[in-house]
Structure 1
Amino acid sequence: MTLRPQTIQIFLPGGQPSGIRVAEITTRIVQVIEVPRKLLPDFFKMAESEQVGVYYLVSKPDDDSQPEVYVGQTGDLRGRLAKHDSDKDFWERVLVLISRTQSITQTHALYLEWLSIQAATKAQRYEPKNGNAGSRPYTPAPMEADCLEIFETGQTLLTTLGYPLFDAVAPQAGQKDQGLEFFYCTAGGVNAKGIYTTEGFVVLEGSIGRKNNVPSIMGTSDAAFRDKLLSSDLVKVEGDSIVFLKDHLFPSPSRAAMAVLGRTANGWQEWKDSNGTTLDLLKRQAISSASA
């Protein structure tokens, strides 16, 4: 995605910030409409529900587990989404990508669906629920160029609405050593590596954590979270250790430290750079010094 200053407009057709939201870049024809599952009947009353569109059914768990996405395309949004409402339980909201000028055809939609599944799978931020990536549909070169522009705009709008479906939580392989600041947690036999980002703290693939929880957190929400982590496909168990199989974003350094240490932890003190300087000293105290 190309980074440049952009103006994005978000319209609330029902007046509720938590309701249906319509996002667009004012100089382009692409719109992304975010619809809470409960408000599907309201969306079906909108003219936009009659268009050809690409849609994303998403879940946003509140327990730090990996969110899920199902990608689809249709010329009958009302019928298709009504069917998904009855036969798919996991999703909470749907994001619909359409054209304000109704210029997205079924051929566009098929290619955008395939491209979206490929990008979501590569990013590994959301777990794709489609089952397979499908095969690349034939698309004439001029139409493919249009699709790539539509996709880039859609990616920007989705991320702005809070759904970075195609954005990796950390730089991809081959980019991780390019000017990034790494932090390490090595207490008690743990050997974990991570990055502090604008979204939280990312524990990187290959990090090694402790398998067992300390007795003091048994029966707490922290223990329940770690039990769920150990049973997920984010990590594998090797003896008394766990190994992260992919980069994973946690909402805070402390949550990330607890995940690898198996105990309550102050991540601002546990995560340190290669010189042993804490994250707290490098980030939080640096901010305090600058403000003073």
Structure 2
Amino acid sequence: MIRLTTMTMQLIDMESDGIRICRVEGESLVTVVVPHDKLADARKLPQLPARGVYYLLDEDHGVLSRVYAGQTIQGLLRLDGHKSKKDFWNKAVMFLDEDWNLDRDVLDSLEAKAIAYVRSQGSYETDNLETPNPRLSPYKEQRVENLHAGILFRMKVLGYDLDRKETAQIMTSTLFHTRKNGVRASGRYDKDTGRFLVLAGSEVELGRRVIKNQGAIEARARLFGDRTGREKLADDVEFASPSAAAVFVLGGSQNGWTEWVNDHGQTLDYVYRSKEQGNE
């Protein structure tokens, strides 16, 4: 027997990688995909439920380097609090429903299950340091299991596989890149010195100020003065660490070990620090 599942997807402003609203036939849960730079537009969407769980993703073409799971009773407004406090993400995926379908017990337990999952699965890092342990009636356990399974299914269909393990052979060709928030930059890491070289032609997001990295602040001032917007490097620039290089390019506060990835989607951390592969 053929089992069919029908998922519909609405694209806001006809952008294939912009805001997306997804629904599965016969289910009340609404999935909303929000790129970081489209958050202001997403908040204008009408008639979306306010209660549910969400994931903040640092992703590049479906490869996840960092994931955070949480819950909301404010719908999309919850993401406002993460614009500065958790500035690593470039995509948010929210799973929302009406209050009567997601009561507080179910919501708390669904969040706990989502957090436990991202802490134990995949090859990505997570900002979730502890797993909550809420009480749940045994009569509601199956509801939480079904919801979580449905969420994992939708994430995989959307191209964000939370189960994905890094199985490719480590590639130590030294070119790494970032495309976070649409900024395209590339560079090379020197494992002997720990320094990172951002290559000429890389984009630098000057519209976002640097937080707490003097080397990146001084390099921006020296190379671009008071300019704003997005500029391209005319020459290579070397930094004391991968994180300083990532902060210079992207602004904000960045973890360069997870931000820089190679053409195989492997993070700098995985290539040079992975104990499982015997690399230090």
Instruction: Output the TM-score relative to the length of structure 1.
Output: 0.57
**Which amino acid in structure 2 is aligned with residue 53 of structure 1?**
G
Give the structure 2 partner of residue 82 of structure 1.
80
Deviation at 1:244, TM superposition (A): 1.9
Indicate the residue corresponding to 2:141 in structure 1: 144
2:40 aligns with 41
Contact 1:52–1:76 (Cα < 8 Å) also in 2: yes
Q: Check 1:224–1:47 CA distance in 2 against 1; reply closer, same or farther (3 A cut).
A: same
Say if 1:8 and 1:25, in contact at 8 Å, map to a contact too.
yes
- How much is the aligned-residue C-alpha RMSD, in angstroms? 3.5
Q: Does 1:153 align with 2:150?
A: yes
Alignment of 1:173-212 (within 5 A): 202-203=167-168
Q: 1:224 matched to which residue of 2?
A: 188
Q: Distance in 1 between matches of 2:48 and 2:67?
A: 20
CA contact (8 A) 1:31 1:154 kept: no
Superposed CA offset, 1:148-173 (max 9, x none): 111111111111111112x2437xxx
Secondary structure in 2 aligned to 1:144?
Answer: helix
Q: Which residues of structure 1 form unaligned runs of 5+? A: 171-201, 246-259, 261-292
Letter in 2 for 1:169: K
Q: CA deviation at 1:226?
A: 8.6
Question: In the alignment, is the contact (CA less than 8 A) between 2:50 and 2:74 conserved in 1?
Answer: yes
The answer to whether the Cα contact below 8 Å between 1:6 and 1:25 also exists between their aligned partners in 2 is yes
Structure 1 13/104 Cα, relative in aligned 2: closer, same or farther at 3 Å?
Answer: farther
* Contact 1:31–1:100 (CA under 8 A) maintained in structure 2: no
Q: Tell me the SS of whatever aligns to 1:124.
A: coil
Identity %: 22
Alignment of structure 1 residues 1-292 onto 2, 5 Å: 5-47=4-46, 51-61=50-60, 67-99=65-97, 103-132=101-130, 134-165=131-162, 167-169=163-165, 202-203=167-168, 224=188, 227=191, 232=269, 236=273, 243-244=276-277
Tell which structure's C-alpha radius of gyration is larger: 1
CA distance in 2, matches of 1:87, 1:93: 15
SS across alignment from 1:53:
strand
Deviations along 1:66-117, whole A, 9 cap, x unmatched? 6111111121234421110122110001100112686212322211111011
1:142 CA displacement: 2.2
TM (norm. structure 2) is 0.59
Q: Deviations over 1:161-189 (max 9, x none)?
A: 11112x2437xxxxxxxxxxxxxxxxxxx
Residues 133-156 of structure 1 show CA distances to partners (whole Å, capped at 9, x for unaligned) of x23211112222111111111111
**Structure 2 contact 50–76 (Cα < 8 Å) conserved:** no
Q: Helix, strand or coil: the match of 2:269?
A: coil
Secondary structure of the residue aligned to 2:87 is coil
| 2:52–2:107 Cα contact (<8 Å) kept | yes
Question: Relative to structure 1, is the Cα distance of residues 158 and 102 closer, same or farther in structure 2, using a 3 angstrom cutoff?
Answer: farther
- Is the CA contact 1:53–1:75 (under 8 Å) kept in the aligned structure 2? yes
In structure 2, C-alpha distance between the alignment counterparts of 1:33 and 1:123, rounded to whole Å: 23
Change (3 A) 1:231 1:101: closer
Label 1:86 to 1:149 Cα distance change in 2 as closer, same or farther (>3 A).
Answer: same
Q: Say which SS state the counterpart of residue 35 (structure 1) adopts.
A: strand
SS in 2 for 1:80: helix
AA partner of residue 46 (structure 1)? L
Q: Greater CA deviation, 83-92 or 228-237?
A: 228-237
- Give the direction of change, closer, same or farther, for the CA distance of 1:135–1:100 in structure 2 (3 Å limit): closer
Letter in 2 for 1:40: L
